Amino acid sequence: MKRTFIFLILVILLLAACQVAPSTPAPTTAPTATPRPPAVAPTAPPAPTKSAKIDIRATVAALAESAQFNPATPAPDATKNVQPHDYVGMFELGWRIVRDNYVRDNYNGVDWDAIHDQYRPRAEAVTDQKAFWNMMEDMIAELHDSHSRFVRPDRFGAEFDIKISNPSSSGQAWTAMTIWPAREDERLMIWDVCDVGPAASAGLRRGDVILAINGTPIERGEKGFEQGDYRAAIVGSGKVTLTVLQGPGAKPKDITLRYGGGSGCDGWSYSLLSKTPKIGYIRIPDFGGDADTNTLDLIQRLEKEGPLDGLVLDVRHNPGGNSDSTIALFTTGIFGKIGSLRQGATRTIYRIRGPVKWNESTPMAVLTDGSSHSAAEYFATAMQQSGRAVLVGMPTAGNTEGINSWNLPDGSVIRLAWMTLVLPDGNTLEGVGVQPDVRVPLGDWGLRQDPDVQLQAAYEAVLGEIQ
């Protein structure tokens, strides 16, 4: 039972680690369109494939490689005998954890010693558990860092509900579609609709815009769309009514869905975008587990009847994991250093070693968006820095801080940013993201086109390299 509880905590923390506060980039203009390539099926079996489901366990496995979960932190002498009811002792322990481990020793401009003096009297006045949790939430929030937070045990369930993948794998009824806004999205769009499920049966499709849920308008706030505002469009019980727009010039339409199950959801997929020249497409949904072998296997399928002339890799809406071995399919090199930003901190060289497993010359494009997180950003910057691929789409999420987690004696957890990637020029990607070489916003209806406008631009970029 104890191991199950700890695993649940790990799942919660890893899923939440991937989220960042969205920001709105400067408006841009999409490149001039050229005739779209026909969608062509692979020329030999096996047929193009999709994973049956995006399993939440796969997402957790991906994230587990880029975050850590620690047992209860060894306390300094002053708090070595801290008990769950010792609120002052747990406060001191929590304050020291931040002081000694936070990624920046300037604490984002906050005087952490002053924070101690400010919160110590409040800790001394605490008489119950909930008051302590409230105080700790407030104290960690003083860092103004969306990655770092205090997680009280009675909110682990809410943390677990912050998910971006298939809820049916955890036994929940859902509408069988993916809604995960990128930070640049001005409207709440459906990212994908499963082949089978309530959404598909109701005629919803990728790129539709959700205006309201059960009559409540859905609007972007200063920090983007709040997951709690649109959660009912994904999971629940009974029925849900969505007010949607299904294309330019369309009138708002109310569509009622009954929550249920789904299959044939967006995951690993591949196809040929054109036969002459032979340009392939691979969607990489995450960098967990066997992402490198999966990618290489799909390339080999596409090349069954001859080598590719070009390749588009799609890491949009990719939550991360560990992309090092996938990068090594295409390029090698040193792409920065990984570690703390504290003065005197030792950082590890971020090196991708060879030999390259595919080739270093076939023209490539990598698709990114504001929901390309963590290892997807490492992948994008390595491909860009090495000149191996042109980046097309929108800036990545800027979510590259590594999260470490410490237990307090009462079972609560402090999640703390403790490391990040420092680029060769000394800058970081945190809050900024990897900037694409060809910036292409989706706009209101770009995702509804086939191919979508970003994929079309990536195809044209590769075609230009070939010609």
The mean per-residue pLDDT over the stretch 329-341 comes to 97
Residue 58 has pLDDT above 60, yes or no: no
Please state the pTM of the whole predicted model: 0.79
Q: How many helices (H) and strands (E) does the chain have?
A: 12, 17
Q: What percent of the chain has pLDDT over 90?
A: 73
In the numeric block, the tokens 């308008």 are attached to: 217
Provide DSSP, 87-132: HHHHHHHHHHHHHHH-S-TTGGG--HHHHHHHHHHHHHH--SHHHH
Domain residue ranges in the chain = 37-54+63-67+267-466, 77-160, 167-258
Mean pLDDT, the chain, integer = 84
Residue 30 has pLDDT above 80, yes or no: no
The partner residues of 235 in beta bridges, in order of sequence, read 174
Annotation: CATH topology of 77-160: Transcription Regulator spoIIAA (3.30.750)
Annotation: CATH topology of 37-54+63-67+267-466: 2-enoyl-CoA Hydratase; Chain A, domain 1 (3.90.226)
pLDDT-derived band at 308 (thresholds 50, 70, 90) equals very high
In 284-424, which ranges are E strands? 310-314, 333-339, 348-352, 364-368, 390-393, 402-407, 413-422
pLDDT-derived band at 195 (thresholds 50, 70, 90) equals very high
Question: Which tens digits make up the pLDDT trace of 70-125?
Answer: 334 444 444 556 888 899 999 999 999 999 999 999 999 999 999 999 999 999 99
Contact 406, 417 (CB under 8 A): no
The whole-number pLDDT of residue 74 equals: 43
The whole-number pLDDT of residue 158 equals: 55
Question: Which tens digits make up the pLDDT trace of 206-230?
Answer: 999 999 999 999 999 988 898 889 9
Which pair of tokens denotes residue 416? 């703390």
Architecture of domain 167-258: Roll (2.30)
Contact 158, 146 (CB under 8 A): no
Contact 329, 203 (CB under 8 A): no
